[in-house]
Chain A
Amino acid sequence: GAGVSQSPRYKVAKRGQDVALRCDPISGHVSLFWYQQALGQGPEFLTYFQNEAQLDKSGLPSDRFFAERPEGSVSTLKIQRTQQEDSAVYLCASSGPQLTDTQYFGPGTRLTVL
């Protein structure tokens, strides 16, 4: 595709609900990253895939956060039992195979937990 796409663009959840955020990377990009960006802050790394393998999940804040990329293309970030502190913009980025390759960001999903 032309760029990284994410859906939904906006999500409002009640505290305790589960949410699923989708990322469709640039075609051919083997690396996919998820970031969390709180208001007024820079993006914070959550997790990284190379193809279908999740190589680093050290940034996931708790076991309520889970990410997958089963076929090495589309990825889903799932948050179980959402809390108010989960409110943020969730950004997905994709790149070529080297970690130094430029990461291209999607438009993000703004999650608001009430």
Chain B
Amino acid sequence: QKEVEQNSGPLSVPEGAIASLNCTYSDRGSQSFFWYRQYSGKSPELIMSIYSNGDKEDGRFTAQLNKASQYVSLLIRDSQPSDSATYLCAVIGTASKLTFGTGTRLQVTL
């Protein structure tokens, strides 16, 4: 079992729709959770961090964390073509290392 699992996609959503990206993790002691966006050929950039159960909103982005279910999600409202990228879920577990999933490729279509 991979430590951080994501569906590789591609996830295709029309412009203006909500994109929902999901991630599960195996280390129950994990405390810190991150979503990074990576455009093709570029380096990852942080979108959201979340540490407590519940929702955290920042502009069009909402991160959701459920530690009991070991589940993290990212919602992107009013999706734009510029949101088309790979979204990486990352977790700091008990080994104190940032562990990434393989990423979900999002395509926002016109």
Q: Which residues of A contact B (CB under 8 A)?
A: 33, 40-45, 48, 56, 58-59, 91, 99-100, 102-108
List the A residue with the shortest CB-CB distance to B96: A99
Q: Which residues of B contact A91 (CB under 8 A)?
A: 43-44
Q: Are B102 and A105 in contact (CB under 8 A)?
A: no
With contacts A105-B44, A106-B43 known, is A45 near B98, CB below 8 A?
yes
Interface contact tally, CB-CB below 8 A: 46
B residues contacting the other copy or chain, number (CB 8 A): 23
Interface residues, chain B, with chain A CB atoms under 8 Å away: 4, 8, 31-32, 34, 42-46, 49, 51, 88, 90, 92, 96-103
**B45: which of A56, A99, A100, A105 is its contact (CB, 8 Å)?**
A105
Residues on B with C-beta less than 8 A from A41 are 102-103
Partner of A99, one of B8, B49, B92, B100: B92
